[in-house]
Amino acid sequence: MSTAIETIGLTRRYGRMLALDNLSLSVAQGSIYGFIGPNGAGKTTTLRMLAGMLEPSSGEIRLMGQPQRQGSAQRLVGYMPDVSGVYDDLRVWEYLDFFARCYGMDAAQRRRTVGDLLDLVDLSAKRETFVQSLSRGMQQRLSLAHALVHNPPVLLLDEPASGLDPRGRVELRELLRTLRDLGKTVLLSSHILSELAEICTEIGIIESGRMLVSGPVNVVRQQLQGGANLRIRVMRDVPAAAAVLQTLMVGGTGAAGLPTIRSLHIDPSDPRAILVDAESMGEDQHAALLAHLVSSGVAVSEFRAHAENLEDLFLRLTAG
C-alpha cells in the first residue's frame, strides 16, 4: 500500500523549547490516522508543518511519495485547524465560492464544486444562510467543506470534534468514513479517544514531542495492555483460583488440551478479577479452560476476552 504522509526525523524548536523531537511517521494512503496526545504534546505543530504553514527546524516531509517543497502542501493537503476562521457576513455558498475563486476555478466549475460539497456535508438546505447563524456542528462541517474545495488527496483535521454534541460527533464520524471511501487519507488529532477507536484504522500516541507508539488500533492496544488477553472473575477464594491457573503456567504441571499461561495478575480495579496472559487461544481452548476451572471447584462469575479501552491505555501510557 502506498504511503500518503511520511515524516523522517521531523524536529521543530521554538528558541530553546523543543516542540517536536525527531518524529518519524508513516500514514498509508486511504487510511484514517488518529493522532493522540495531551495538550502541548506537539500535535498542532506537526499538522501545521504537514500543511506547509510552519517550517521544520530539521527533518523531511513527504506527501504522496514526493518531498514537500515550497507551495506543494497547499495543492496536496486540505487543512482544518482547531479554530476555524469564518467570514460571518457571507452566506454559506458564498463562503465556499470565495475559496474556490482563490484556486482559480471558473464560474461553472465553482458552481459544481460548491453544490457537490454542500451535498457531501449535508448543508444544501443552508445554502443561503449566513455563516454566523450556523450551529457549531454546521460550522465544523462547513470548515471541512472548505478544506475539500481543491479536492486534495490528504486531509489534516485538528480536533475536528471539539465542542460538538453527541449528534454532531456521530455525523462527523459518518462523514469521515465517507471521505475514506472516496479515497481520501485523513490524519486527525483528538482527545475524544472513544471516537478514534471507532473510526481510525491506525493511531499514534505522542507526548512531549516524541512518538510513543504507532500502528493499527488493535496492534497498539495489544502492545499497551501488557499481553493480558483474558479476564476471569470469581465469586470467592481468589487465591485458590489463582493456584489452579498457576499449574498451567510455563514450567507448571499443565494439562492436555489446555493453553499455556505466561503470566497472571489481579486486576487493580477489581480484587476478584484475574487477568491472564495466555498463548493465542481459540474458542475451544476458552471452553476447555473454563471447564477446567469449574471442575476444580472455582466459582466463576465472569469469563471473557480482556481489552482495555483506548482511553485507559492512553492514560496509563502518558501517566506522569
On whether the CB atoms of residues 276 and 248 are closer than 8 A, the answer is no
Number of domains in the chain: 2
Q: Give the Cα separation of 186 and 180 in Å (integer).
A: 7
User: What does the mean pLDDT of the chain come to?
Assistant: 86
What is the per-residue pLDDT across 13-60, written as a single tens digit (0 to 9) for each? 998 899 999 999 999 999 999 998 888 889 999 999 999 999 999 999
Q: Which of 223, 245, 269 is the last residue of a domain?
A: 223
- Residue 83 sits in the same domain as residue 213: yes
Q: Does one domain contain both 235 and 180?
A: no
Q: Which of 312, 248, 311 is nearest to 274 (CA)?
A: 248
Same domain, 182 and 246: no
In angstroms, the CA 248 to CA 196 distance is: 37
Same domain, 45 and 132: yes
Residues 243 and 286 in one domain: yes
Name the residue range of residue 277's domain. 227-315
Q: Is residue 257 domain-shared with residue 150, that is, in the same domain? A: no
Is residue 320 a part of any domain in this protein? no
Closest by CA position to 280, among listed 259, 266, 250: 259
Percent of the chain clearing pLDDT 70 (strictly above)? 86
Cell 501517566 locates to 319
Q: Which of 223, 247, 277 delimits the end of a domain?
A: 223
pLDDT reading at 253 higher than 70: no
Asked if the structure places residue 199 within a domain, the reply is: yes
Query: Measuring CA to CA, how many Å separate 227 from each of 120, 190, 231, 257, 306?
Result: 42, 26, 12, 21, 10
User: What was the pLDDT predicted at 310?
Assistant: 67
For 191-206, what is the mean pLDDT? 79
Same domain, yes or no: 59 and 133 = yes
Q: 178, 208, 223: which is the final residue of a domain?
A: 223
If pLDDT is split at 50, 70 and 90, which confidence band does 157 have?
very high
pLDDT score, position 173: 85
Q: 73-123: per-residue pLDDT in tens?
A: 788 999 998 877 667 789 999 999 999 999 999 999 999 999 999 999 999
